Amino acid sequence: LVLVKGISGSGKSTLLKICAGSLTPDEGILSVNGKDNNWSHQWLKANSSYMNQFPFIFDGTLQYNVFLERAMEAAANGTVVKMREKAQQGKSRDQQIKEREEQKSTEMQAGYPVFLDKILTKKEEGWGTELSHNGKQLSGGERQLVTLARMMLHPRPVAILDEPTANLDPETTGIILQEIVKMGEERLVIVASHEKLFEGVADAIVNLNWGEQVNHE
């Protein structure tokens, strides 16, 4: 877990965008495992997940926003379908399809991060809650939890988070901090934050001053 800190305007967000492969530096060399320039840029773009200060929420259900293509993966699982073919005999086609879709949904939901209960318990439609206009139905903290869950369920070698706890209540901050530390045990996590709690759990700290590294702890 690498913490990037510095005053506002010191270049934290710019550095994170470069690390995510979404921005190419005007000067200097960007290298990954000894390889630099275009190769590194393409590798980072394909192998990093990035959560900025304004998490993106898709138009669709809460379930879709968390699990994404996992629904398609479950639908493609012929083994599951074959195991139920005998039990489906005698039922109408519509009934069979409905039961299969319900089973797929149950299988996906069984592995969701428990901190999403903070959202699910408030939503009458649960996983079926429709989200639109970048998740206006959710609070800022809830959007961050949904995005964090998405990153956990669709892991890439590098996870990059820009001010993941900004403007959150202490309870939600504690939840997000704990989950980010867990992610850091399995992959490289780069966090830009003013939250002092990160200083106690980071493996390395990079201090920036107007785009220049002041020191590395």
Domain residue ranges in the chain: 2-57+138-216, 69-130
In angstroms, rounded to a whole number, what is the distance separating the alpha carbons of residues 217 and 203?
9
**Six token digits for residue 55:** 């998490």
Name the amino acid, one letter, at 63: Q
Confidence of residue 80 (pLDDT cuts 50, 70, 90): very low
For residue 119, the tally of other CB atoms under 10 A from its CB is 21
194-200: Cβ within 8 A, 24+ apart: 194/5, 194/163, 194/166, 195/165, 197/165, 197/173, 198/1, 198/3, 199/3, 199/5
Q: pLDDT tens for residues 104-137?
A: 455 455 578 888 998 999 999 999 999 999 999 9
Could you please state the CATH topology (level 3) that the domain comprising 2-57+138-216 is classified under: Rossmann fold (3.40.50)
Residue 141 and residue 57: Cα distance in Å, rounded? 13
Judge contact between 188 and 200, C-beta under 8 A: no
More confident: 3 or 93: 3
Q: What is the pLDDT of residues 180-202, one digit of tens each?
A: 999 999 999 999 998 889 999 99
Nearest to 192 by CA among 206, 203, 179, 181: 206
Q: Is the pLDDT of residue 83 over 50?
A: no
Give yes or no for a contact between 129 and 62, defined as CB atoms under 8 angstroms apart.
yes
For the ranges 40-44, 78-82, 163-167, the lowest mean pLDDT is seen at 78-82
Is the whole model's pTM more than 0.85, yes or no? no
| Residue 1 near residue 180 (C-beta atoms within 8 A) | yes
The token pair that represents 74 in the structure block: 């479950």
Three-state DSSP state, 132: coil
